[in-house]
Copies of this chain bind each other. A is one copy, B any other.
Amino acid sequence: MSTKNIIFTVLLLFVPISLAAHFLEWGDLVVFITAALAILPLAAWMGTATEEIAVVVGPILGGFLNATFGNATELIIALVALNAGLIDVVKASITGSIIGNLLLVMGLSMLLGGIRYKEQTFESVVARVNASSMNLAVIAILLPTAMNYTSIGISETTVQNLSLAVAIVLILVYGLTLLFSMKTHAYLYEVGVVDTEEEEEVSHEKPNIWLWSGVLLACTLLVALESELLVDALEVATSKLGLSALFTGVILVPIIGNAAEHATAVTVAMKNKMDLALSVAVGSSMQIALFVAPVLVIAGWVVGQPMDLDFNPFELVAVAVSVLIANSISSDGKSNWLEGTLLLAAYTVLGFAFYFHPVANSIG
């Protein structure tokens, strides 16, 4: 059992601890922290279960499962927060996830990989297609904000309608990217699959689909439960820490929701598989923008919460900046520790900006 697996198993202890903290009323801050720590291993086990099931059901259905459950943790936390009316936090967590994947996950991968290897390369066509899809998706989800910010007196309904229209286009595009990667251009993606399977074969025989489906179901339910605890305690806990809803949504929530991606990306980067590490970071950003954000808009519309794609203008700046830096650093297909540091520095500077951002005017 690897160190990573041991850590994730031990962290499972926070599931009962967080429940105890909630029912024995140990305070919102304790509940918030323990629930966050409990979500980390659950997200990791969801990922493992999805991969195991994917091996059995074959590449087409497996790819679909992976794509759908890849950001399940973020989606569940966001849906629970949306239902609780914390729309500011939900919106901020969308942009925060994109920024976090592009700067923090990619940066840590390049830094830790780059300390071991002088220069790392990643040149696959897949990376480029992912980057283009991500660019489109990110731009699309920011359009309503740009429209609202550059005009005076746009009604809430207009923004809501435009957001819904954008959401529907993005979900269609998401379906087409799945068609592309699983059907018409599946051969481009095969290298990665073989790679993963190789490792799987070392560790075991054909996985038991019933066992892993049970694990997946259990983890999903527990993530939903822990998200309830997290969201309930969020407002009191973060205001005790002196943090604004904007900072919580942009920085804190995505770190909890993306921890599994962080672990995966860094691990493979340190094995010099930068292609896979970047694929995780960029692919996750793409899925947030193409799938999670539109689903949340539609869910908000269904449950009657006014969830739209009108972000804080500074979030627009932050996402644009993150995309530009990530593109600039990854476009040459090579990386080293300094490039990783530059991404982390950009994340730090943005973190400062969100920390100093005045709350009163920050979320509109």
Contacts and interface: CB of A to CB of B under 8 A. Distances in A.
Nearest to A185: B336
Interface in A135-165: 135-136, 139-140, 143-144, 146-147, 149-155, 158, 161-162, 165
A189 interface: no
A343 to B, nearest CB: 8
Interface residues of A, number: 70
Contacts of A170: 345
Given A147-B356, A162-B356, A169-B349, 14 more contacts: A135-B325, A136-B325, A136-B343, A140-B346, A150-B312, A150-B313, A150-B317, A153-B358, A153-B360, A169-B345, A169-B352, A180-B337, A185-B336, A327-B328
A334 interface: yes
Number of copies of chain A assembled together: 3
Nearest to A165: B352
Interface string A320-364: 010011011101101011110111011011101100111011100
Given A150-B314, A162-B356, A348 B169 contact: yes
A125 B152 CA distance: 43
A161 B356 contact: yes
A267 interface: no
A238 interface: no
Can you list the 8 inter-chain pairs with the closest CB atoms, starting with the nearest? A150-B313, A180-B338, A165-B352, A136-B342, A150-B314, A146-B317, A162-B356, A152-B361
